[in-house]
Amino acid sequence: MKTNNITRMLDTRKIAYQVFELPEDKVGAVETALILGVPAAEVFKTIVVQREKPGKAILAVVPGDSKVDLKKLAAAAGEKKLRLTTQSEAEKLTGLLVGGISPLALLNKGFQIILDESALQYEQIHISGGQRGMNIRLAVKDLIAITSARVAQVSE
């Protein structure tokens, strides 16, 4: 089984999770859901969103089959205006490759993490394992506890 900083952190905190290996190339959330045989709504993707004012980017964690609603996200984050980052900006801001951006890999890095409230209808969801080719399924309550994520309706 693959291990990385995320799996070691989850082990240290005694948090149950399951690792799924995927192709090493960039695989989107919908493709990931097809490979894993789960609904796309249970595979959450991390979208890097930039504030208009200077400040750390926001990580919006939304279902694979939906898009970030920037107006709702701005309201949840207490911002007037936000914009989606480009792939290269997202990689520069997080230090991770697109397809491997995970809120668990960016703990204590100052990012505000906002989880779409649709996650609450599931006991467990899938998120990136912090590198391409790695997906992690864990309990929604554990994800919220570890990341201190704010839960709000931020997808459309």
Tell me the C-alpha distance between 83 and 62, whole Å.
Answer: 16
CB 144 within 8 Å of CB 18? no
Tell me the C-alpha distance between 116 and 67, whole Å.
Answer: 10
Question: Residues with Cβ < 8 Å from 12, sequence gap 6 or more?
Answer: none
Length of the chain: 156
Tell me the C-alpha distance between 29 and 64, whole Å.
Answer: 5
Q: What is the pLDDT of residues 17-46, one digit of tens each?
A: 999 999 888 788 999 999 999 999 999 999
Q: How many domains does the chain have?
A: 1
24: domain CATH number is 3.90.960.10
Q: What is the pLDDT of residues 57-116, one digit of tens each?
A: 999 999 999 999 999 999 999 999 999 999 999 999 999 999 899 999 999 999 999 999
- The pTM score is 0.94
Q: Which domain holds residue 91?
A: 5-152
Tell me the C-alpha distance between 42 and 14, whole Å.
Answer: 23
CB 96 within 8 Å of CB 130? yes
Q: What backbone phi and psi angles, to 5 degrees, belong to 19?
A: -100, 135
Strands 17-21 and 82-84, sheet pairing:
unpaired
